[in-house]
Amino acid sequence: MSDPNELPLLKLSPRDFGRALPVVNRTQRFIVFVPPLIHGGEALVFPNTTRRAGQPIKQGRGVVFYNGVDRAWQAALGNGEDTIVINDITAAQADALLTKQIVLRGQNTALNLDAIKKLLAFAKDELGIIDFYNKRASSIARDTRVIDASNPFFMEVSKPTLHHALYVPQAFTFDGPVQQVYPAGAVIVSDGRRCWGVGTEVFMRGYKKIQHGKEQPLTSVRVDFEQLGFVKNM
């Protein structure tokens, strides 16, 4: 795990995106709805194995987990209003996650804390998925659509919001929703109000560029960013 103290901090604001790639988010995800957990779940603090052991990730109780793309510990509240997004997945992975979720839930109406942890471990260890983050259930209902009715947790971002993106080729950290760490560079996205980092490969698979008013697949970092000058160097 890279030490964020060893990487430079990237500082950006939405006004830095005056010349940037226009895109929309169309990432595919599996949504884990976190129910009201017994005792609210676990304390939302950094694990004992980290340099910030015991410090709060956020206030409250719920589920603590690790995002391997952003190299950041994150947390979802255990009050029935949060979700954990298993991001950047295929239909086959979504089917495997649904099957595993059904097994873990058993006769219960919802997953408990231990089952949620086991589902995330299955995603990482068996399916090779490492991109997890928290999101409010209300925003999932508003901004995504179910891809396949037979798997109601397999969703695609559907909101029409236009974003702008810049590619950062060098290693950096960024204070986005959490402190994000990118030793191999990444893409920074802005919606005009705030900015956040997206792993380069995740971005290339999940976002669409807007050309002549239409959504088009991204081609490559070289074609979509470097040749057009949509690059931010450290």
- Position 3 confidence tier, pLDDT thresholds 50, 70, 90: low
Residue 213 has phi, psi (to 5 degrees) of: 80, 5
Between helices 113-127 and 91-105, what is the axis angle to 10°? Answer: 150
Q: Which of 19-28, 47-56, 217-226 has the lowest mean pLDDT?
A: 47-56
* Better pLDDT: 5 or 82: 82
* Segment 158-169, tens digit of pLDDT: 999 999 999 999
- For 120-153, write each residue's pLDDT tens digit: 999 999 999 999 999 999 999 999 999 999 999 9
- Check residue 4 and give its pLDDT: 58
Q: Which pLDDT tens digit goes with each residue over 52-105?
A: 889 999 999 999 999 999 999 999 999 999 999 999 999 999 999 999 999 999
Which residues sit opposite 158 in a β-bridge? none
**pLDDT value of residue 178:** 82
- The answer, yes or no, to whether residue 1 has pLDDT greater than 80, is no
Average pLDDT over all residues of the chain: 94
Write out pLDDT tens, residues 174-209.
Answer: 988 888 999 999 999 999 988 999 999 999 999 999
The residues spanned by each domain of the chain are 4-26+159-226, 28-157
pLDDT at 5: 63
Identity of the residue numbered 32: V
Closest CA to 76 of 68, 66, 91, 87: 66
